[in-house]
């Protein structure tokens, strides 16, 4: 249960102001069809985070003891610093020819590759050595952060204290890093 709750909270916080959240706004404005966009986000996140969770569980089983603790601790601290800087999203040419679901699925999957939430999923799966609760938790965190953006759109996005949220995410990642380093 701890792996699920920590994964949900960490990724939910880290996702706020992330490029995929900005992508949610762009897609919502472009297609104005929230359901296919939400399902596209869900499917892309499950695929991406399952791969990341598998990688984290695999590499977590290879490295044991102090090596793993140092790698994970420093990774979480690195993501903490990364979380302090806002992401930018440049809308591409993907458009209406694929429809809202397929466009969202492809765009989200590609945008998540190497993203801080994917790196966090790898680290969390390695740290907790629990694939399913971590992937479900990180997926839920992504959905909690992105679905309201799709549903509410630009109205609420301008009112969110993004800087404070980025700082809270950085603190959460830093705390995970320090806790991992001290065992």
pLDDT digits (tens, 9 = 90+) for 65-106: 676 667 667 776 776 776 676 555 445 544 556 789 999 998
- Judge whether residue 44 has pLDDT over 70: yes
Mean pLDDT of 2-22: 87
User: What's the mean pLDDT when you consider all of the chain?
Assistant: 80
pLDDT digits (tens, 9 = 90+) for 149-183: 898 865 554 555 657 766 776 787 688 778 777 86
pTM of the model: 0.71
Residues 20 and 146: beta-carbon distance below 8 Å:
yes
- Judge whether residue 129 has pLDDT over 50: yes
Between 127 and 29, the more confident residue is 127
Between 13 and 29, the more confident residue is 13
Mean pLDDT of 50-54: 93
Residues in the chain: 183
> Residue 93's pLDDT is what?
45
Between 179 and 132, the more confident residue is 132
Structure tokens at 143: 């959905």
Q: What is the 3-state secondary structure (H, E, C) of the chain?
A: CHHHHHHHHHHHHHHCCCHHHHHHHHHHHHHCCHHHHHHHHHHHHHHHHHHHHHHHHHHHHHCCCHHHHHHHHHHHHHHHHHHCCCCCCCCCCCCCCCHHHHHHHHHHHHHHCCCHHHHHHHHHHHHHCCHHHHHHHHHHHHHHHHHHHHHHCHHHHCCCCHHHHHHHHHHHHHHHHHHHHHC
> Residue 97's pLDDT is what?
67
- Judge whether residue 132 has pLDDT over 90: yes
pLDDT digits (tens, 9 = 90+) for 102-123: 999 988 888 888 788 888 899 8
């Amino acid at each position: 249960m701890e792996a699920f709750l920590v994964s949900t909270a960490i990724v939910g916080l880290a996702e706020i102001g992330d490029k995929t959240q900005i992508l949610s706004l762009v897609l919502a404005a472009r297609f104005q069809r929230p359901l296919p966009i939400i399902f596209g986000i869900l499917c892309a996140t499950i695929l991406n985070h399952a791969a990341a969770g598998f990688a984290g569980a695999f590499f977590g089983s290879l490295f044991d003891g102090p090596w793993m603790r140092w790698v994970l601790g420093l990774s979480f601290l690195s993501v903490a610093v990364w979380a302090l800087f806002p992401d930018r999203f440049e809308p591409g040419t993907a458009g209406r020819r694929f429809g809202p679901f397929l466009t969202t699925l492809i765009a989200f999957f590609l945008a998540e590759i190497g993203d801080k939430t994917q790196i966090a999923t790898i680290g969390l799966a390695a740290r907790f050595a629990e694939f399913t609760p971590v992937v479900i938790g990180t997926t839920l965190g992504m959905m909690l952060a992105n679905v309201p953006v799709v549903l509410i759109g630009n109205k609420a996005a301008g009112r969110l204290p993004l800087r404070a949220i980025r700082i809270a995410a950085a603190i959460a990642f830093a705390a995970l890093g320090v806790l991992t380093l001290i065992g």
